[in-house]
Amino acid sequence: MADDVLIVGGGPAGMMAGLLLARAGVAVKVIEKHADFFRDFRGDTVHPSTMEILDQLGMLDRFLKRPHDELDTARIRVAGREYVIGDLSHLDTPAPFIAMMPQWDFLDFLRDEAAAFPSFKLVMEEPVAGFIEAGGRVAGIRYESGREEQAGRLVIAADGRSSLVRRLDLLAVETIGAPMDVFWFRLPRSGDPGDALRGSIETGRMVVLIDRRTYWQCAFLIPKGSGEEIKARGVDWIASEVRKAFPDLDFSGEGGLTSSADLHLLEVALDRLVCWHRPGLLAIGDAAHAMSPIGGIGINLAIQDAVATANILAGPLAAREGVDHLLHKVQDRRLFPTRIIQAGQKAAQEAVIGRVLGGAPITRAAWPVRMLDRYPMLRRIPGRLIGLGVRRERVRSSLARPP
């Protein structure tokens, strides 16, 4: 069977779009440049909005059988004191918590579910180098390996923040900007499990820890562009800063941060494409709008884009109709939530992260944080925003039932 839709990138956006289109009977091929999904530098949060979608697809029970931790409260430590700032437990949704699952496990799950559909194909370790054009529209892809070009009725760019559509200047980018980058590394973990996600803010220092059961995955925020300068201070200095941020935790054990080769610098970007499509080509997920890690919502926004894409395009694609005239509808649908979330991330970057990393003295939490900690009812508001987001998608009933 020829592939109708070629999806570049097997991240959350690409895998979910591939799964949904294949469920609708569309011949789809997802092309991923890495050999597996086992990469460290991905977030671990699966939010209630994504689990709602899994529920609509009848996949939630199977998803929750995979190893994960459940988090229904958001906490932050500011200047040595812990504050509760979000409560998801009251959400009216099938899974009112954040499932902490390494992203490679989540992607393995989507791959296993998609494999049940004969029109789904996944090609690993095959970087895409560019697009082919015919008759004024994108008509397929070129592989980096020199393998034969492949034609498709629609190409979906789901290849993340350094997407080909950006590198090849096919679609213009509007930069919003971020004041920080992140060093991403592991530290050993001992002791009893506690909260699966922890954050600490103090003068000049911001750290987030994810409990991956056998080690801590650490995100150490640094001022944008200062990677080399911070690296020169040495890995022992960085590890000691994390220990100071979480004096109650036990970091003893083997492995972790031993040399600068163990440090991965993740450049944080906040931007979006002015136009997400051109004839024959649609960008979704981080390729269309690079998200800051704030709130841990990028994965979930990528999944919502995939659902909107399938809701709008699967029917006509399955009926072998042209879809170029429909591509703008995906952007029309998803631009509003993207704008709102990016505006929230920008505000948090300016009000908190830029100030903290700029060395502003942090003696106690800002008043909104203190209010949330004091009045439990108020915590439901950030809980709802983080958990369910803005304008959440619902899988069309025709897609929820496989053919």
222 with 375: CB under 8 angstroms?
A: no
Subset of residues 154 to 173 that bind ligand FAD, contact rule: CB under 6 A: 158-160, 164
List the one residue from 32, 241, 271, 373 that touches ligand FAD (CB under 6 A): 32
List the one residue from 22, 54, 268, 330 that touches ligand FAD (CB under 6 A): 268
- When asked if residue 48 is in the footprint of ligand FAD (CB under 6 A), the reply is no
Beta-carbon-side half-sphere exposure of residue 180 (alpha carbons within 13 Å)? 28
List the one residue from 132, 265, 266, 335 that touches ligand FAD (CB under 6 A): 266
- When asked if residue 4 is in the footprint of ligand FAD (CB under 6 A), the reply is no
- When asked if residue 9 is in the footprint of ligand FAD (CB under 6 A), the reply is yes
In the three-class reduction of DSSP (H, G, I as helix; E, B as strand; rest coil), residue 175 is classed as: strand
Task: Report the distance separating Cα 113 and Cα 365, nearest Å.
Answer: 44
Instruction: Give the shortest CB-16-to-ligand FAD separation in angstroms.
Output: 8
Instruction: Give the shortest CB-285-to-ligand FAD separation in angstroms.
Output: 2
Residues binding ligand FAD: number (CB under 6 A)? 37
**Partners of 78 in beta bridges:** 81, 201
- When asked if residue 128 is in the footprint of ligand FAD (CB under 6 A), the reply is yes
Q: CB-wise, 29 or 278, nearer to ligand FAD?
A: 29
List the one residue from 56, 150, 300, 311 that touches ligand FAD (CB under 6 A): 300
- When asked if residue 302 is in the footprint of ligand FAD (CB under 6 A), the reply is yes
Instruction: Give the shortest CB-141-to-ligand FAD separation in angstroms.
Output: 9
Burial class (CB in 10 A: 0-12, 13-18, 19+), 245: buried
Q: Using DSSP bridges, classify how beta strands 277-278 and 197-202 pair: parallel, antiparallel or unpaired.
A: unpaired
- When asked if residue 337 is in the footprint of ligand FAD (CB under 6 A), the reply is no
Span near ligand FAD by CB under 6 A; candidates 56-64, 85-93, 298-306, 360-368: 298-306
Residue among 99, 17, 91 at smallest CA distance from 62: 99
Structure tokens belonging to residue 308? 């909107």
* Helical axes 12-23 vs 103-114, angle rounded to 10°: 20
146 with 184: CB under 8 angstroms?
A: no
Task: Report the distance separating Cα 280 and Cα 308, nearest Å.
Answer: 17
Q: CB-wise, 12 or 96, nearer to ligand FAD?
A: 12
**Residue labelled with tokens 């429909």:** 326
* Helices within 266-326 (DSSP H only): 298-318
**Partners of 87 in beta bridges:** 73
Site string for ligand FAD, 192-221 (x = CB under 6 A): ---------------------------x--
Strands (E), 158-212: 173-175, 180-188, 197-202, 205-211
List the one residue from 5, 11, 238, 280 that touches ligand FAD (CB under 6 A): 11
Query: Where along the sequence are the contacts to ligand FAD (CB under 6 A)?
Result: 8-14, 31-34, 42-45, 127-128, 158-160, 164, 182, 184, 219, 266, 268, 285-287, 291, 293, 296-300, 302
